[in-house]
Structure 1
Amino acid sequence: MRVEFINPFITSLINVMKTMAQLDLQPGKPKKKLDSLARGDVSGLIGMVGPQTKGSMSITFDQGLALEVMRRMLGEAPDELNEEVTDMVGEITNMVTGGAKRILGEEGYEFDMATPIVVSGPNHSISHKTEGMKLMMPFTCDQGRAVIEICFE
């Protein structure tokens, strides 16, 4: 997997969280992901297909962070994950992928985005439908943790 495919997603996630929820995410160390277990409580997963490559990207949030993002973005403060929170995670997944698509488009890489799916619950799994290495990038802030996974063929 090439770094020019990864950095736009990292940049886009940091930007979306800063502009939409006034949260500063601090990136951790990337590592290879060898299983399908999500590293949080709610995940948005989106597929991408283009002439040069195909792949998928997911964003997983700890429940506390997802609820705080909901409060900051929409002014609602649910006590637990619900349909509105999962809808918001799907929208964030769309925004992050759209931002990365714009950056990659400037570099000559084009792809179409699928509709994101959202999965929640303790110990849920994420199934990337592409063959290729999965990279996992953790982020932290005072309100919790998020993890982005990227897989490109």
Structure 2
Amino acid sequence: MQSEDLAVFVDGIANYFNSTTEHEASVGTPFLSKEVNSFISDFTGIIGISGNRKGSIFFSAPKYMLVHVLSGMGLISSKDAKLMDLVGEICNTVSGNARREFGEDFNISVPITIQGKPEEMGVSEVANIYVIPIEWQQQRANLIVNLEES
């Protein structure tokens, strides 16, 4: 993955927070990791990617952060089902925006959502895993991008 490709995801997650809440997110510098498990939080949305690129995209955040994101959107809820919907929506929105940049052959799956931290989260057999740290309202989340060109 090139730095311009990662910038699509950095900009996408920053734009999501900026456009849906009144508080700007601080997006950190992406870094390489050999695994995703230590970056998984309370709720995670996962999108599978196929076509001109293959792999997966994860958005993982703590419950407290997601409750406050919903609140910033004018929705008051701490129900787990709403939080699962939200992580799926965030991951889907960021992936959909990337599709506009990478073209119609950048195919995204329906989001899968999980609650909690599984013992081991698998990723596609892709060379690099990039972690993009996000801080919003003093809470930390991660966007994990695991892609390569097909």
TM-score by length of 1: 0.85
Q: 1:125 to 1:21 in 2, by over 3 A?
A: farther
The sequence identity of aligned pairs, in percent, is: 24
Letter in 1 for 2:85: D
Q: Map of 1:43-58 to 2, 5 A cutoff?
A: 43-51=44-52, 53-58=53-58
Q: 1:143: how far off?
A: 4.1
Give 2:98's match in structure 1, choosing from 86, 97, 100.
Answer: 100
State the TM-score, normalized to the length of structure 2.
0.86
1:133 maps to which of 122, 128, 148: 128
Letter in 1 for 2:95: T
Residue 67 of structure 1: how far off its partner (Å): 1.0
Deviation readout 1:129-150 (Å, 9 max, x if unpaired)? 2422101110112241111111
Residues 66 and 126 of structure 1: CA distance in aligned 2, closer, same or farther (over 3 Å): farther
Query: 1:50 and 1:70, CA in 2 relative to 1: closer, same or farther beyond 3 A?
Result: same
Return the alpha-carbon distance in structure 1 between the equivalents of residues 80 and 133 of structure 2.
24
Q: Which amino acid aligns with 1:57?
A: I
- Kindly report which structure 2 residues correspond to 1:1-153, keeping only aligned pairs within 5 A, or say none: 1-37=1-37, 38-51=39-52, 53-78=53-78, 82-105=80-103, 110-122=105-117, 125-153=120-148
Matches of 2:119 and 2:10, distance apart in 1: 23
Please tell me whether the aligned partners of residues 36 and 144 of structure 2 are also in contact (alpha carbons under 8 angstroms): no
Q: Paired residues, what number?
A: 147
Report the Cα offset of residue 57 of structure 1. 0.8
Gaps of 5+ in 2: none
Displacement after TM superposition at 1:84 (Å): 1.2
Say if 1:46 and 1:56, in contact at 8 Å, map to a contact too. Answer: yes
Q: Are the counterparts in 2 of residues 68 and 143 from structure 1 also a CA contact under 8 Å?
A: no
SS of corresponding position for 2:73: helix
Cα RMSD over matched residues? 2.0
Distance 2:117 2:54 in 1: 29
Segments of structure 1 that go 5 or more residues without pairing to the other structure are none
* TM-aligned CA distance change 1:144 to 1:125, over 3 Å: farther
SS of the residue corresponding to residue 127 of structure 1 reads coil
Aligned structure 1 segments of 4 or more residues deviating by more than 4 angstroms = 122-125
Report deviation, 1:71: 1.6
